[in-house]
Chain A
Amino acid sequence: MSLEVLVVLAGLGSILLVGNLALDWMAPGERSGSERMALGFALGCGVVALLLFYLSLVYAPLALGLTILFVLTLVSLAYGKRLFVKRQLALRCTKFSILATTPIFLLSGLAALVALKTDLGFDGWTDWGFKARVVYVEGGWTANYFAFPWPEFIHRDYPLLVASLEAWAFAWLGQADEHAIKIIFPFFYFCLLLLFYSAVRKIGSSRIAMLFSVLLGTVPYLASIAAPSGYADVPLMLYVLGAVVFVRRWFERGNDSDLLIGAMLAALGVWVKREGIVYWGINFVAIAIWLALARSKSARVRVRSLLIFLLPAVGIIVPWFAFLSTFHIQATDFALVLDFTRWVRLPFIAVNTIRQFLAVDMWGGLWIIFFVLSVARLRSSNFADGYVWVSAVIPFAVLQLSFLFSIWVPFTHHLELASERLCMHEIAIAWYWIALQSRGLDDWFSELIMRRVKRMGDNSCARGR
């Protein structure tokens, strides 16, 4: 591993530390190490991207420098106080088994090895790498960049979280090194698996949590294509999975800090990719329905819960769309035109959707297991589990339907290029739903192991006689 990669990892470490401060501030309390690490990184990326954006609005040439200065000062003061004044550990977390999470480390290490062997890929350069270079050269998000008529594929309308993170890494390196920043993407994959592990661990044993984490981590498209690439799909997965896990936890336990974390992650998802708005919308609708049905709660409590979900969006999503509208930057690739002749595209979209679910070389049997289990278990699932199911299925359907408005000629080319990635965003949620339906599996495993041990014992006794 080169020195440059280690420097980028140090930069990511500082993001993790500032994210942990944000987490402690928003939702204090003990957490497992895996959950703390994943949430700390996800929230830290949000802190850096938003700070860079808001400081750029004030004075762009100094924004990146000020962001680094602010984050490092905050981290030094806060953790210095914890270590030297309060004499506490810097990170408060419950123990988590290193042994149980070893496969996650191994899979992430493999993804990192592959990532460092390849380049960012076309979209990785144009959508994120280029923007990161702009920030690094200019010192922040300048109006000149957004005002220049770049070709469509540069996608000025794409949100800024991943590009901000790459610019952060460039600043740590002191050069625009596209090779070293590739380590960012396997790191997102690592955090995704850790978050998934901790989410499943809440409902099952570490054995089941590890089994499903490895099942998620070895989905062929995710493990060997998305995780090592320079695309923003795995980062989006981290945010949408996190939102689903915490909103579901709020449905189950009613703890407002869970809702706040879910709301923050859902809003930050919109800062990763535009598709994040679909997931945010589904969360919003689910929460609104839940609150409408929760008659036992007072109106004040319901309004408060709704505000907890909406306020992060006001601070995170609304300014971004306001900014885009100020610069008259419209969505590329799609045009919202009411043209009924486009309904002829529906059969193509439907066939493509089914084909995507059945693409064994991409997903293995994941979607087959998911839909067979859906038929068997959906009636018996509660609101919270139903919400997880909807979050796994509806976004892909909505995003597929958005190709009715694609301006590509032919639109099928666009559909084929994007479908795999759109389908991938949901796979962590799909595995999470499957894990939720597998509560009986743990007992079965234990029984099986007990039976095997007993049989081995009997055999050795017989041999002894």
Chain B
Amino acid sequence: MKLNRRIALYALALWMQLVFGLGMTLWRDTLTLSGNWQIYMGSISHDLNGFTEFASQNTPPREIVGYLTPPSDDYLTRYARLAIELYPRRVVWLGNGPAESPITAWTSVDVRDSNWVRVLEKRDIRYVLIEGLADAVPCQQNCVRFDETRSLWVVK
């Protein structure tokens, strides 16, 4: 009798788990399917598609391409997407500022320093996609403008 009661309690716990699990699954799946919840943060705005297209049209394949941005992880997802979409070009992320931690993904550069172009030469970079730095690196010679904040600079 005591054993039966224990098993009944155990069966009740399993039943509750089943109902809860099924309920949570259906609720979360409904949210995802209706576009109100995202499983893992990774989505990027659609404006990057045009920029990727622009970059692939203006840079030769198998080239090493720089991606110069402010030093912020806000650009991490955009860089990842560019690196994937532009392959076989190899995209190197250049952050205009210091690295924040040992796992910082960008290579630190300082565009105010006149020698910063040497970093590009050292890494064999002849094309630089510039984003979010229109004030610091204005589009001048050998520069193709995409929009107000983004451009492609062909390093001589």
Contact = CB atoms under 8 A, between A and B. Distances in A.
Of A120, A219, A224, chain B has the most CB atoms within 10 Å of the CB of A224
A220 B40 contact: no
B22 interface: yes
Contact of B28 (A148, A220, A365): A220
B56 to A, nearest CB: 13
B13 interface: yes
B93 interface: yes
Interface stretch (A86-94, A129-137, A454-462): A129-137
Given A211-B18, A223-B29, A441-B7, 6 more contacts: A125-B80, A130-B80, A151-B106, A224-B24, A231-B40, A364-B21
A387 to B, nearest CB: 23
Contacts of A364: 17, 20-21, 24
Interface in B61-120: 76-77, 80-81, 83-84, 87-88, 90, 93, 100-103, 105-106
A364 B4 CA distance: 24
Interface stretch (B31-39, B47-55, B128-136, B147-155): B31-39
A360 B101 CA distance: 33
**Interface size classification for chain A:** 35 or more
Of A152, A218, A369, A373, chain B has the most CB atoms within 10 Å of the CB of A218
B87 A122 contact: no
A133 B32 contact: no
A273 B105 CA distance: 22
Contacts of B101: 408-409
28 contacts: A110-B25, A113-B33, A114-B32, A118-B32, A120-B42, A121-B40, A121-B42, A122-B40, A122-B80, A126-B80, A130-B84, A130-B87, A137-B87, A151-B105, A151-B106, A153-B105, A215-B14, A215-B18, A220-B28, A223-B25, A223-B28, A225-B39, A360-B20, A365-B17, A407-B102, A440-B3, A440-B7, A444-B11
Interface of A: 107, 110, 113-114, 117-126, 129-130, 133-134, 137-138, 148, 150-154, 211, 214-215, 218-220, 223-225, 228-229, 231, 332-333, 360-361, 364-366, 369, 373, 407-409, 438, 440-441, 444-445
Interface residues of B, number: 43
Given A113-B33, A123-B40, A215 B77 contact: no
B42 A119 contact: yes
Nearest to A148: B90
A438 to B, nearest CB: 8
Contacts of B87: 130, 133-134, 137
B19 to A, nearest CB: 9
Nearest to B77: A122
List 6 tightest A-B contacts by C-beta distance, closest first.
A218-B21, A121-B40, A224-B28, A220-B24, A151-B105, A122-B42
B77 to A, nearest CB: 6
B21 A215 contact: yes
